[in-house]
Amino acid sequence: MSLIGTIDGGYYNFSPLSTSIFKANECASFVLRTSDAVSNAILTSHTWKNINLRTLMGNDMYDKYDLFMLKPNQQATAANQPSAWGTTLDDRLTVLNIQGLPFKNYFNSSTLTTTSSVIFNTLLTRLGGVATTGNSGSILTFGKYQELVDLTIFYSRFVKNPAGNYQTQGTVGSPFPHFVFSFEIYGIPKEDVEKK
């Protein structure tokens, strides 16, 4: 499958699932823990400050590529969750969003870079035990623009809340549980971004 888009005024053929990318030796894995983030009172928005992409990927990988793929792997939370987080089921049926990187939008040639992108959709359960969501299938493409970034993950609802927006609702006394998110970053080889 190929996606066609424009980058820097030229037309490019980009194959996001190219086997050369996933067989590459260069991959950076990292974990974001909501307990390490600056979060809102009900734990539905989390920001990790000053993440150094060069340090995360290493000098060789960071310098070698201009485009990267962010592949979400998993989200998980531990047992002993509060029994009453999220005002309704619609607050727990969420879209997980990420912002802070210049994500490339290959489906709309007039909007090549977006500030946020969807990681995946999930139903956050309130049952005891470990809640895990596996590989989402999402692959988010982003370019380089600065070494230090602030990454934010936030939840939004599928349907509007009573106030008329998509913000998840909850109470400060029963916040959402802490989560762990794991990701991989792959460099996109220049031969996989071919000028047409």
Taking only the tens place, the pLDDT of each residue in 58-80 is 999 999 999 899 988 877 776 55
Contact 182, 70 (CB under 8 A): no
30-52+67-185 is a CATH 2.60.40 domain: no
CB 16 within 8 A of CB 3: yes
Q: Return d(Cα 195, Cα 10) in angstroms, integer.
A: 7
Q: d(Cα 180, Cα 48) in Å, to the nearest integer?
A: 12
Among 18-22, 122-126, 178-182, name the most confident range: 178-182
pLDDT score for 93: 76
Please state whether beta strands 148-157 and 93-104 pair in parallel, antiparallel, or not at all (unpaired). Answer: antiparallel
| Identity of residue 142 | F
Cα(16)–Cα(142) distance, integer angstroms: 12
pLDDT at 120: 77
pLDDT of the residue at 115 = 76
Is the predicted pLDDT of residue 107 greater than 60, yes or no?
no
164: left (phi over 0), alpha (psi -120 to 50) or beta: left
Q: Where are the domains of the chain?
A: 30-52+67-185
Instruction: Provide the 3-class DSSP secondary structure of residue 77.
Output: strand
- Identify which of 193, 22, 18 has the alpha carbon closest to the alpha carbon of residue 112: 193
Q: Which residues contact 98 (CB under 8 A, 6 or more apart)?
A: 70, 116, 117, 118, 119, 140, 151, 152, 153
The pLDDT assigned to 58 comes to 94
pLDDT at 175: 74
Residue 185 has pLDDT above 80, yes or no: yes
Q: Tens of pLDDT along 125-177?
A: 665 544 555 555 678 889 888 899 999 999 888 888 888 888 887 766 667 77
